[in-house]
Amino acid sequence: MIIVSGWIRVDPDARDGYLRGCVSVVEQARASSGCLDFTLGADLVDAGRINVYERWESEEALDAFRGSGPGDDQEAVIRDAEVARYQISGVGPA
């Protein structure tokens, strides 16, 4: 299992528009083979932060979905980002 997790920082005034522009990406990801979960969401305390969480069955499933990254219009509003990919070897109850 692969987990992609982290955050994207945009100007606070641009966050809602950025997220609206990501609706189709989230829909496409969730419909993709091997996608177990995919979400982008506004942070509750930081007006410029977008939280990223993805869960995939395999590296191959993630790579098959992943294109070249955000489009130019989305890339232009990203000020900073820290997103990492984690390979999970086991899962148990929380």
52 vs 43: CA distance, rounded Å: 10
Residue 72: band (very low, low, confident or very high) from pLDDT cuts 50, 70, 90: low
CATH 1.10.760.10 fits 2-87, yes or no: no
pLDDT reading at 71 higher than 80: no
Structure tokens at 40: 């982008």
> In sequence order, which ranges of 1-94 are alpha helices (DSSP H)?
15-21, 23-31, 59-65, 72-77
pLDDT number for residue 68: 47
Mean pLDDT, to the nearest integer, of 71-90?
87
Contact indicator for 54, 37 with CB cutoff of 8 Å: yes
Domain layout of the chain by residue ranges:
2-87
